[in-house]
Structure 1
Amino acid sequence: MPFPLSSALRGAVLLAAPLFCAFPALAQTEYPLHLSNCGVDLTFDAAPVRTVTVGQAATEILYALDLGDRVLGTSVWFSAVLPQFETVNAGVPRLADNDPSFESVVALRPDLVAVQYEWHIGPQGSVGTRDQFADLGIPTYTLPSDCEGKDNSVGSDGTRLAPYSIESLYQGIDELARIFDVPERGAALLDDLRAREEAAIDAARALDLGDASAVFWFSSAEMDIDPYVAGQGGAPAYMMEALGLRNIIDSNEEWPVVGWETIARANPTVIVLARMDRRRFEADDVERKLDFLRTDPVASQMDAVRHNRIVVLDAHGMDPSIRNIDALETLSAALAGLDLQ
C-alpha cells in the first residue's frame, strides 16, 4: 500500500512557517547548544570553525549560509556546484568525488563533519561511524532529511517509514544556522525558500491540472531493462503531491525498479527525466533517456512521449537538498507550458 499522502499538504506548507517561530530565529546562539540529531545527542560549546562536508547537499547548505570560509574540504558530489557558489567552491579542496577515506577527513582536524547520508557516516558508515569520529572528539551532524521518518538500517539506501517532508530539510538549515551562530542567515534563507515554494505551488495549482499524472525516471542499470523511477517515499513524491500531479508509481520505496510495460499502461501525462554529471550507468545521460523514449516500441507509444510532455530536472534536485525548490519551480513553470488538456 502507498503512503497515505495528505490532501492538506498545501495548507501545511502555509501553516508550517509559524512553527519555526518557536526557534530563537534572530537571537544569537546560546552555548552550550544541545541538539538531538538522528538519534545522537550533540553538544556544541562554540561555533565550529573547521568543517568537512561529506555530501553535496550539506556543502551547498553551508555555502547558502555564507559559511564557505569554514569548509576545509568537501566530498560526495553528484553534479556541478550551483552557479552562485562557484567562486567559494573553487577555494575548497575536494577530498573525493565519492566517498572520502576516514583518514583524509580526520587529517584536516575538523571540529565538525557535516553529513548528507547516514550510509556514509552512521552506525555502519562507509567512511566511518559516528562513534569513531566521537572517539577523536569530532562531532558529526547528519541532515535530518536522511533520518526523519526513515530507517537506514534496511538496504543500502534505507527505507522511508513516512513520506519525505521538506520540513526535515528546513529543520537541517535551521539547526546548522544555530550551530554556526548565524541564525539571522538561517531565517533569511528559510524565508526565501518558503516564499519560492509557495509561489511555485500556487502557480501549478492555478493550472487546474485535474487528474494529470507523472513519472520521474532517474536512471537504469542498462538501457534495455526496467528503470529506477520515483516511488511514494522521496522528494519527487513531495513535488508531485505539492503541485497537484498524481504519481503513477504506488511503491513505498524511494526509487523502485518498475517495468516499461507497467509505466506505459499507466500512461503518465508528464515524464520527468533526471539530468546528471554522473556516468555510472548509460542511462545517467539524459540524451540517452530521450533517445530511448522516442525509439523504444513500448515507451514511444505513451502520450507524454508522442506529445513531447517531457521535463528535464537536475538529478540532485530529486534528492533532499536546497535544490528541491529549484526543481519545484522548474517543474511548475514547465507544466504551464505543456498542453495538458
Structure 2
Amino acid sequence: MVTLLTGLLTVGTVQAQESSFPLTLENCGQTLTFEHPVERIVTVGQATTEILYALGLADKVKATSVWFTPVQPKYQTVNSHIPRLADNDPSFESVVNQHPDLVTVQYEWHIGANGIVGTREQFHDLGIPTYVMPTDCVGKDNSTGMDGTRLQLFSTQWLFQSVQDLADIAGVHQRGAELVDQLKAREDEVKQRAHQLDSDLSAVFWYSSADMNVDPFVAGSLGAPAYMMKQLGIHNIVDTAEEWPMKSWESIAKANPDIIVIAKMDRRRFPADDYQKKLEFLHNDPVASQMDAVKNDHIIMLEATEMDATLRMIEGMEKLIQALQDQNMVEE
C-alpha cells in the first residue's frame, strides 16, 4: 500500500536507511511512502528510463515514453524488449493500462499541476504513485510555461538525488550510492581539466526552433547548460532565467559568442530538431553566418540529452571540454 500526503517542495530525502521499508521520501511537493520495493515501473521521460537502466533495474521497467535520442548502446538489448508507449507524449490511459506501481517523470509539464499526460493527483487517486525528478522542480517555477523558469542555478546534486531516490524506492540503495560516486568523480575530473581553458570564452546553447525563420530556443542563465558552462568557466551570453527562452539571432549575433553548441536529437517536434538544418541555417543566414563562432567553425554538437538534466549531461561536459581543447581554446 502506498500513502500519498502533501509535503514541501524539497529535494527527495530518504527517511529510512539502506532501502528498509516502509520507505518515506519527499518529492516535489508530495510525501511518498512505499511499503515494499516497487516492481512495475512506467517511465515518462528518457532521463528516468536511463537512470533505471544504469541502476540495473531494466527488469522492473514495463514501458517507456518520451524519447529524444536513441538509447545508449550499452542498453540497446534490454531496451529492445520493453514496450515504448510513445516517442513523445503518452496518453494517461496508456500509462495506467500498464498497471504500474510507480510512474517516473522527467518533466512536470508531462505529469504535474498542468500535465499534458495527467496530474499527479489523477494517478494518485488510482493508487499509482508518481516520482518527479527533483531536477525539474527544485529551485524552479513550472507555472510560467512548458519549460518553466529557474529560481536558482541548476545543480547536479538534484540529479544525483534522483539517482539515489530511485535506487532506494527499488530497494537497491547501494547501487545508487555507487553510481552517484562514479558520476561525481567524472564531474570532478572535468572541473580539473577546465583550468586549462581560455578564461574569456563565451557560448550559446541552441536547442531547437519552432520554425527556421523564428527566434531560437536557447539555454537560459540558470538551467543545466548554464551549470555546465559555469563549471567550465564559460560565459553564457543569455541572461534570462527561463529554462529555454527564445532569443533573436540579432541579439545573439550582437553578443558574438566564441562557441555555439547545438543539440542533436531524433525528435522531430520542430524543424530545427534536425541538427543538419541548424548547421545549414548558421552558414547561410545573413545574420548568424557573420558570427565569429560560425566563421571559425567553433560549432560543437551534443546530444539533446547531454545538454539537459540527465545522466548524460556528465558525458556532455566531457565532450564539450574535449572539443574545446581540440580546438585549442586553452590559455597560452
Q: TM-score, normalised by structure 1?
A: 0.90
1:196-224 superposed Cα distances (whole Å, 9 cap, x missing partner): 111112112223x1211111111112222
d(CA) in 1 for partners of 2:278, 2:125: 46
d(CA) in 1 for partners of 2:99, 2:212: 44
C-alpha contact (below 8 Å) 1:269/1:340 kept by paired residues: no
d(CA) in 1 for partners of 2:83, 2:89: 14
**1:116 offset after TM fit, Å?**
0.9
1:74 and 2:74 correspond? no
1:97-143 superposed Cα distances (whole Å, 9 cap, x missing partner): 12212221111111111111112112222112211211211111111
- Identify the residue that residue 325 of structure 1 maps to in structure 2: 314
224-233 vs 61-70, which moves further: 224-233
165-174 vs 117-126, which moves further: 117-126
* Equivalent residue for 2:89, pick from 85, 92, 99: 99
Q: Which amino acid aligns with 2:267?
A: R
d(CA) in 1 for partners of 2:15, 2:134: 19
- Identify the residue that residue 184 of structure 2 maps to in structure 1: 194
- Identify the residue that residue 138 of structure 1 maps to in structure 2: 128
C-alpha contact (below 8 Å) 1:204/1:335 kept by paired residues: no
* Equivalent residue for 1:246, pick from 224, 229, 235: 235
- Identify the residue that residue 49 of structure 2 maps to in structure 1: 59
- Identify the residue that residue 16 of structure 1 maps to in structure 2: none
- Identify the residue that residue 296 of structure 1 maps to in structure 2: 285
In the alignment, structure 2 segments of 5+ residues that lack a partner are: 1-12
C-alpha contact (below 8 Å) 1:150/1:160 kept by paired residues: yes
**1:147 offset after TM fit, Å?**
0.4
Runs of 4+ in 1 over 6 A off after TM superposition: 22-25
Q: Which amino acid aligns with 2:141?
A: D
- Identify the residue that residue 228 of structure 1 maps to in structure 2: 217
- Identify the residue that residue 114 of structure 1 maps to in structure 2: 104
**1:167 offset after TM fit, Å?**
0.9
C-alpha contact (below 8 Å) 2:14/2:165 kept by paired residues: no
1:205-257 superposed Cα distances (whole Å, 9 cap, x missing partner): 223x1211111111112222221111102111001000010001111112111
- Identify the residue that residue 169 of structure 1 maps to in structure 2: 159
**1:28 offset after TM fit, Å?**
2.8
C-alpha contact (below 8 Å) 2:258/2:298 kept by paired residues: yes
Task: List aligned pairs for 1:139-154, cutoff 5 A.
Answer: 139-154=129-144
d(CA) in 2 for partners of 1:140, 1:257: 31
C-alpha contact (below 8 Å) 1:53/1:71 kept by paired residues: yes
Identity rate, percent: 58
**1:179 offset after TM fit, Å?**
0.9
Secondary structure in 2 matching 1:311: strand
* Equivalent residue for 1:180, pick from 170, 173, 179: 170
Number of residue pairs matched? 318
* Equivalent residue for 1:278, pick from 267, 283, 287: 267
C-alpha contact (below 8 Å) 2:237/2:257 kept by paired residues: yes
C-alpha contact (below 8 Å) 1:268/1:302 kept by paired residues: yes
d(CA) in 2 for partners of 1:165, 1:269: 24
C-alpha contact (below 8 Å) 1:114/1:142 kept by paired residues: yes
125-134 vs 174-183, which moves further: 125-134
- Identify the residue that residue 7 of structure 1 maps to in structure 2: none
C-alpha contact (below 8 Å) 1:204/1:336 kept by paired residues: no
Secondary structure in 2 matching 1:204: helix
d(CA) in 2 for partners of 1:31, 1:313: 40
d(CA) in 2 for partners of 1:224, 1:140: 38
Q: Which amino acid aligns with 2:149?
A: T
1:305 and 2:294 correspond? yes
C-alpha contact (below 8 Å) 2:14/2:26 kept by paired residues: no
d(CA) in 1 for partners of 2:90, 2:243: 25
d(CA) in 2 for partners of 1:265, 1:111: 51
Q: Which amino acid aligns with 1:29?
A: S
Secondary structure in 1 matching 2:143: coil
Q: Which amino acid aligns with 2:180?
A: L
Please report the RMSD computed on the Cα atoms of aligned residues, expressed in angstroms. 1.6
- Identify the residue that residue 36 of structure 2 maps to in structure 1: 46
